[in-house]
Structures are given as structure tokens and as C-alpha cells.
Amino acid sequence: MSTMFMICTLLFLAMAIMAPLEILAAHSHLEHGFYSESCPSAEHIVWKTVSAAVRKNPTIPAGIIRLYFHDCFVRGCDASVLLKTTFSKESTELDSFANKGLRGLDLIDKAKAKIEAVCPGIVSCADILAFAARDSTYKAGGIYYNIPSGRRDGTVSLESEVTALPPPFLDVPPMIQFFTNKSMSIKEMTALSGAHSIGFTQCSTFSNRLYTFNSSHPQDPSLDYKFAKFLKKKCPENAINTVELDVVTPYRLDNQFYKNLKKNMGVLTSDQVLASSPLTAKIVKKYIDYPEIWIKDFADAMVHLGNLDVLTGTKGEIRNKCGAVNYY
């Protein structure tokens, strides 16, 4: 075998090995239609999985949108919230009290399994969750947005980092700080809060507003009296029940949420304060008067949320299963 032939063979093998890395490097950012060639059926599979789930349970969209927010707001959209175990064996985000009751993990697992059957090792759990959140938004409110993909899955998930999520008892200024930390605006914060037009919450997240607000007012004076009476029936003291965040259109993602705030019918403190704070009140009024503006702002904010601190290119991995990192 000639020396020249051996050199050519070695160069060919090196190029073959490097090709996948070059392809990954070329996709070091999110883009629309990322899987159009590598897995063209991926988004359709997610759509069918979400649609089937919603037919059985109309509360699923709220669970998926919340799951998406809780993922992206901690380490960025890397599906870290889905991890039940990691290399470090430390407590994961799922172990945090703030993530108790998260729903939709089984739906993401189901979509992942179906995609793996036709495109193994191609589509990330992070992208599946982003697609599912978009499709849930459409199923619940007829709101569609085109979201780029190309996210890769993280290998780290820490319970201690869930403190990045804003708790439900905040006033507007500290809540703004949480969003500023993620380079998101006051308008985006107010628009995304509209996701509370669907879904429900534990009585314990707002029971202090009904029974132990402060020494001068056992009941939060910002709550409408009749609405507070209704909530007390739903949530007796120390109850472990749940209540809809929007009692008027609980399964419809719409601007009714903001109309409720204007009537002092916001269930969570962090929701109700949006209508009274000079920092957000005008935005709330605009969303009441012009629902089409809220729809656009909500869609834009969901896309921006999905761009936060993403892993692309050669960073992270494509998990085989969404609940665990890959073990090589």
C-alpha cells in the first residue's frame, strides 16, 4: 500500500468523523424547521400527542404551559425540569416544593417515545416541550406562534436553583426583578401572567388572603367580597383543595384573566397586584380593551421565553429518555 494512499485514507476517515461535529457547529443557534430533513414528522407527532391528551382532559394545556415556564425560567429551556435523576445523584428540580404538582411529564415522555421510534437520537426533549407548549397554547386559546428549534438537553438539574421561579405572593417590583434577571420586560411579565386564564392552584397558595392577611385585615381588602366568599367555600381553612385561576373561562386561554383582575377577582397575590400597580395597570387595561394586543404580546413572550439560555450545537445532549441523562 502506497504512502499516498494511506494518507488519503486517513484524511477520508478524519473527515467522516468530523462531519457530525461540523453539522452540529453549523446549527449553533435556533432556527425554524430545524428538523425538516432529519426528522420531518417530529412536530406533527407532538401535535397529535397533545391533541389526543386534550380530548381526554381539557386541563392539559395549562399543565404543559406551566411545565414549559418552569423549565425555561430556571436553567433555560434545556428540559432540566424533566430530569428525575442526574450524574450527581443530587435532588433535581422536580424535588422542589415549587414544582410539586407539575403535570404533563407523561405527555412529553409519550411524544418522545413516538419520535424515537422513527428518528432515534435526533429530537431533544427540550424541543418537544417547546412544541407541546405552542400546541397547548393553540388548543386552549386558538393562539398560534412559530417557534424555532434546535435546543439540546441539559445534564444538570438542581433543586436549589428553583428559587429562580417567582413565588405567587410577590408584589410587582420584586416580581419584575425576577423577570429582569432573565432579560424579560415588564410587558412580557404581564403578558405571560395571562397564562393564568387557565389552570388551577392549591388553596394553600392564597389562603392567607382569606384568613390571615394581617393584624388589621384578616381578609385581603383587594379581594372582591363576593369572590372571597366563593373562595372560602371552595377552600375552607387549612384545606388541601384546588381552585381555578379563572373561574369565568377556566379552560379558555383568553383575556378574561385581566377582566377578572379589574373586578378584584385575581386568585393569586402576584396576579391581583398587576391591576393596581402603576408599573403594570396600564398594560392590564390595554389587554382588557384590545385582546388582539395581548394575543400578540403573549405569543411573542412565549417565543422569547423559549430562547432563554438554550443549549445548541455541541452543548448538552439529545436524551434517549426525558427523565434521565444518557449513560455512555
Q: Is the separation of the CB atoms in 59 and 251 below 8 Å?
A: yes
pLDDT(263) > 50: yes
| DSSP secondary structure letter of residue 149 | B
Q: Is the separation of the CB atoms in 78 and 310 below 8 Å?
A: yes
Output the pLDDT for position 27. 53
pLDDT(235) > 50: yes
State how far the Cα of 206 lies from the Cα of 273, in Å rounded to an integer.
13
Architecture of the 172-305 domain: Orthogonal Bundle (1.10)
pTM (predicted TM-score): 0.90
- Kindly state the average pLDDT of the residues 278-301: 98
More confident residue, 77 or 7: 77
pLDDT(48) > 90: yes
Q: What is the largest CA-CA distance in the chain?
A: 94
**Cell triple for residue 135?**
400546541
State how far the Cα of 67 lies from the Cα of 126, in Å rounded to an integer.
11
- Kindly state the average pLDDT of the residues 35-56: 98
**Cell triple for residue 33?**
424547521
Share of the chain above pLDDT 70, in %: 91
pLDDT in tens, 103-134: 999 999 999 999 999 999 999 999 999 999 99
Output the pLDDT for position 18. 45
Within 73-124, residue ranges assigned H as helices are: 105-118
Output the pLDDT for position 218. 87
Output the pLDDT for position 59. 96
**Cell triple for residue 196?**
393564568
User: In sequence order, what DSSP letters do the residues of 233-298 get, joined into one string?
Assistant: HHS-TT---EEES-SSSTT--STHHHHHHHTT--SSHHHHHHHH-TTTHHHHHHHHH-HHHHHHHH
pLDDT in tens, 186-215: 999 999 999 999 999 999 999 999 998 887
Q: What is the mean pLDDT of the chain?
A: 92
Output the pLDDT for position 9. 43
The residue type found at 313 is G
160 closest CA partner among 103, 101, 80, 106: 80
pLDDT(2) > 80: no
> Is residue 296 packed enough to be buried (19+ CB in 10 Å), middle (13-18) or exposed (0-12)?
middle
Q: Is the separation of the CB atoms in 212 and 235 below 8 Å?
A: no
The full set of domain ranges for the chain reads 32-164, 172-305
Query: Which entry of 27, 29, 70, 217 is annotated as an active-site residue?
Result: 70
Output the pLDDT for position 26. 44
Q: Is the separation of the CB atoms in 291 and 6 below 8 Å?
A: no
State how far the Cα of 177 lies from the Cα of 115, in Å rounded to an integer.
38
179 closest CA partner among 168, 192, 169: 192
State how far the Cα of 112 lies from the Cα of 42, in Å rounded to an integer.
9
Instruction: Tell me if residue 242 falls in helix, strand or coil.
Output: strand
Q: Is the separation of the CB atoms in 311 and 27 below 8 Å?
A: no
Output the pLDDT for position 214. 84
pLDDT(260) > 60: yes
State how far the Cα of 2 lies from the Cα of 11, in Å rounded to an integer.
14
pLDDT in tens, 146-183: 999 999 999 999 999 999 999 999 999 999 999 999 99
70 is catalytic: yes
59 closest CA partner among 195, 168, 166: 195
pLDDT(8) > 80: no
pLDDT(251) > 50: yes
State how far the Cα of 281 lies from the Cα of 264, in Å rounded to an integer.
13
> Is residue 303 packed enough to be buried (19+ CB in 10 Å), middle (13-18) or exposed (0-12)?
middle
pLDDT(15) > 60: no
Architecture of the 32-164 domain: Orthogonal Bundle (1.10)
pLDDT in tens, 300-311: 999 999 999 999
**Cell triple for residue 215?**
393584624
